[in-house]
Structure 1
């Protein structure tokens, strides 16, 4: 059952939230490209990064290649109209840069398992930190949800937060107590939610579990 208990936000608040998210994503595009150039993954010292991009990598690369091919083709088509040509060129380069930034974000901002806890990530926006003090267990548990299922839902044990990849998760993090996670946007879809379980997709669930095990044992 879907959680939707917060009052509907006003149009003004929703517009401001969308503007802030757009600006944040735009800045993250360029910072992610910078990380790729510097070869500096967003993983704390002593931590391990585990990717989540494998199910969508081929499609994303295809879009990037097609966008790169499209720029000179459109430039030839609108060549007789300088104003249109410049506008199309700027939009084409911006779109290509944005998709490259998304790819770099997925590659350089993986899920991270480190001394401070687990960071659940997805693309340009999602970065949810969960400290070890709030984590009871980490296990491999594959689940396929219905398309368009919200990130936060009501499960058998309480509220669950799931960061899926193509509707699937394969890691289950059980929490010691209801823990607040903050998602992009405003309630009910975004904002703060108290959850008792976190599910996510990892390309290599065994590597994720192996990275988490020493911290769970030490705790």
Structure 2
């Protein structure tokens, strides 16, 4: 029994370290092509500067488990939270929603139409300063 517990414990620690590395090595990025929103190994969404209308900081506490959609009026926002909150909201205003592919399949093969994204970044001021260079 102890051997099984040891194996499960080692596997669990290895999995947690892998998950931590996925978040540390694949952060959200801002560059000349636009903003890339990443969430672990499964999510990598690229938004070009033509797609992004504005980027603003709106602190929201107690966001639901991520990923989740926040639907209000005609908008559908994809929410990626960290420790029950987000601190940057990327608002994408288009004539038509952007279709993104999310893991897990489900309806439409995992494809969902969104009009905005809310994410957590470690340095919101630096993130916004970099965005200002391009918007």
Partner of 2:114: 195
Instruction: Flag the structure with more relative contact order, 1 or 2, with Cα contacts below 8 A and sequence separation at least 6.
Output: 1
How big is each residue's C-alpha offset from its partner over 1:113-133, in whole Å with a ceiling of 9 and x where there is no partner?
112221112223222221222
How far, CA to CA, are the matches of 2:23 and 2:15 in structure 1? 12
The structure with more helix, counted as a fraction of residues: 1
Structure 1 portions without partners, runs of 5+: 1-76, 79-84
1:143 aligns with 60
1:160 maps onto 2:74 in alignment: no
Partner of 1:129: 46
Deviation at 1:92, TM superposition (A): 3.4
What is the TM-score with the length of structure 1 in the denominator?
0.53
Question: What is the distance in 2 between the residues matched to 1:96 and 1:145?
Answer: 27
More strand as a share of residues: 2
Asked if the contact 1:128/1:183 (under 8 Å) is kept, the reply is no
Q: Describe how 1:101-140 pairs up with structure 2 within 5 A.
A: 101-140=18-57
Match of 1:183 among 79, 102, 122: 102
Name the structure 2 match of 1:34: none
Q: Which residue is equivalent to 2:87? A: 170
- Looking at structure 1, the residues matched to 121 and 73 of structure 2 have their Cα atoms a distance apart, in angstroms, of 23
Structure 2 spans left out of the alignment, 5+ residues: none
Q: Residue 182 of structure 1 contacts residue 191 of structure 1 at CA under 8 Å; is this kept in 2?
A: yes
The runs of 4+ residues in structure 1 deviating greater than 6 Å are none
Contact kept, 8 Å, 1:116 with 1:131, in 2: the verdict is yes
3-state secondary structure, aligned to 1:121: strand
Matches within 5 A, 1:1-219: 78=2, 85=3, 87-148=4-65, 151-177=68-94, 178-187=97-106, 191-216=110-135
**1:89–1:167 distance in 2 versus 1, CA, 3 Å:** closer
**SS of structure 2 residue aligned to 1:107:** helix
Alignment size in residue pairs: 132
RMSD: 2.3
